[in-house]
Structure 1
């Protein structure tokens, strides 16, 4: 955990450095929530009251959606699995509904009911371990997005099988970023960089009208070395990869992105997926979803969705991009090679 925290702080310093190079002044805060370091840089004149409202909103969402907080709405949903529906806030309902949409789109590759598998492996905690095949097989009985029952009129969420549990870790940070942008817009703030542990929202544009340069970290280096950057405004950049949370046992590395069909960490050609789009919640879910797919299928999916672009990196340092990503991307580390899809 300490190593990961240091990595995240380094990333925050990187983005602060970028702002300084752009000759823009900012006011910033850094906090810790949602199991990550969060930094917010405002490039309009901020105020203590605005920062307080932002941190309060972050804490509110975490209190609703963290499965690790006793009495949170997600905890109550999980505790009542197979027993009864739970009426939840509009926030939680919206995120669960969106997660279920992506589960259906991916036919279960992205599955918010992965909670029993996540808990079994314990990756990111002091209890991380490799479970037995029998343990995994038993827990897979409770991974089933089709068993999520939503009642829009009641605003309720029901897990219809006992011992199921939902985990919104692959989408909740994106929702937080979107909500912070909405808050800033309502406060009259026109430019900011919001960074939730590498989930970055570039809101507005620089003082001179240029777009922001947002770097993308190489998945092969633990010192936050970057292999390129995108130039964007009013968009989010979200990257998923095995370097985010992992542990090693008997010389083998196990990461936190699971195959919902097998219960094991995904072991394929892809080592990193980056999404650029306007909704950080969508980018959060899609970056995980695409990691579970082979690259051709993932790229075809992104080409079919308006306003979303993606970049894949594979084990051979090869980069494949959607057509729109190429227009905003600059490669700076030529260890990597851009190849045709």
Structure 2
């Protein structure tokens, strides 16, 4: 279905009787994240909501709002349209996108681009430097290599990984912040916003909602990236469920989010086995090999782009360095879950998240 047709269908949906039905929707229909009523560990519960969604970036994006004036539904629809616009700007899977054009031309000389694309690429560079390469937007060649080898039923050779590493690393890209241009050192260089693009799209769409004076809403992209503003159901935030990374159908706990973002990374679902060994989908950009120290990482940050990038970076750099980062950046909170030493109970390592906003099911934790 074309983007234009999808937009038209959604606007048709939001008119007349159907708009009234959408505005009257009740119950806990917020998202798979959002906590439903429970008394197991006194977690806060969600209430009546309105939810609009669209499919972009190979996942579902949705805006969740408290019941209110019908005009907020139209603003939410416009915010979802913006997600499609940003996808076309950032994707590497469409040859006509701005990101594809930059990748194709920047080895021949400095390339200018849409200011929004330069903004998020430069933000990616900053986070890469700040995490000492734990997050790296230039690791696309490594990701492509592992994807190809997985389809072939094998793992990459050391030489294949070494060849890829010779074309990755943020130091191979020249950023000119005055001219807003980027130049690549080699035609094999590539920038890919897969680890931060959803978060940036949420931030931009959320900014649009704030410009329309909508103050209470939750915006999510896929099952990993969330941006929350204001409050819900007389709570000091929005209740978001946290899955148990060992048993993903179980909810480990609930966190209240207000005026911040949350992102989760892990390899409990996306992985493959080769010759009896399990390989996750998250690669260490510095070595080219999958990492497996942690089951999952959840990051709370002021904006969704940062939360997205740091959840990947923390998964890569491990517990000690992730905690050190949080100590040096007090606006960041995290929940790091390593594999249990024995049994099935978990021992989360938590930093920078106040107890009054986090509700964990003690029965699933190692006492």
Q: Do Structure 1 and Structure 2 share a fold, with TM-score over 0.5? A: yes
CA shift in 2, pair 1:127/1:192, >3 Å: farther
Does the 8 A contact of 2:52 with 2:77 survive in 1? no
1:122-271 superposed matches below 5 A: 122=147, 130-198=155-223, 199-223=225-249, 225-243=250-268, 245-268=270-293, 270-271=294-295
The answer to whether the aligner puts 1:307 opposite 2:336 as a matched pair is: no
Larger Rg over CA atoms: 2
Residue 361 (structure 2) aligns with: 332
Which of 282, 291, 297 is matched with 2:306 structurally?
A: 282
Residue 29 (structure 1) aligns with: 52
1:317-328 superposed matches below 5 A: 317-328=346-357
TM-score scaled to structure 1, two decimals? Answer: 0.87
SS of equivalent residue, structure 1 residue 247: strand
Does the 8 A contact of 1:241 with 1:271 survive in 2? yes
SS of equivalent residue, structure 1 residue 293: helix
Q: CA deviation at 1:121?
A: 1.4
Does the 8 A contact of 2:332 with 2:352 survive in 1? no
Does the 8 A contact of 2:45 with 2:239 survive in 1? no
CA shift in 2, pair 1:196/1:281, >3 Å: same
SS of equivalent residue, structure 2 residue 171: helix
CA shift in 2, pair 1:228/1:17, >3 Å: closer
1:58-77 superposed matches below 5 A: 58-77=83-102
Q: CA deviation at 1:209?
A: 5.0
Q: CA deviation at 1:255?
A: 2.2
CA distance in 2, matches of 1:263, 1:111: 11
SS of equivalent residue, structure 2 residue 139: helix
The answer to whether the aligner puts 1:110 opposite 2:139 as a matched pair is: no
Q: CA deviation at 1:196?
A: 0.9
Q: CA deviation at 1:229?
A: 1.3
Structure 1 unmatched ranges of 5 or more? 1-9
Which segment drifts farther, 237-246 or 288-297?
A: 237-246
SS of equivalent residue, structure 1 residue 111: coil
CA distance in 2, matches of 1:333, 1:73: 48
Q: CA deviation at 1:326?
A: 3.8
Does the 8 A contact of 2:153 with 2:274 survive in 1? no
Residue 7 (structure 1) aligns with: none
CA distance in 1, matches of 2:203, 2:54: 17
SS of equivalent residue, structure 1 residue 240: strand
Which of 34, 42, 45 is matched with 1:15 structurally?
A: 34
TM-score scaled to structure 2, two decimals? Answer: 0.81
Structure 2 unmatched ranges of 5 or more? 1-28, 38-43, 341-345
CA shift in 2, pair 1:289/1:186, >3 Å: same
SS of equivalent residue, structure 1 residue 142: coil
Which of 294, 297, 316 is matched with 1:292 structurally?
A: 316
| Root mean square deviation, CA, Å | 2.5
**Equivalences, count:** 325
Q: CA deviation at 1:16?
A: 8.2
CA shift in 2, pair 1:278/1:267, >3 Å: same
Which segment drifts farther, 240-249 or 31-40?
A: 240-249
Does the 8 A contact of 1:122 with 1:129 survive in 2? no
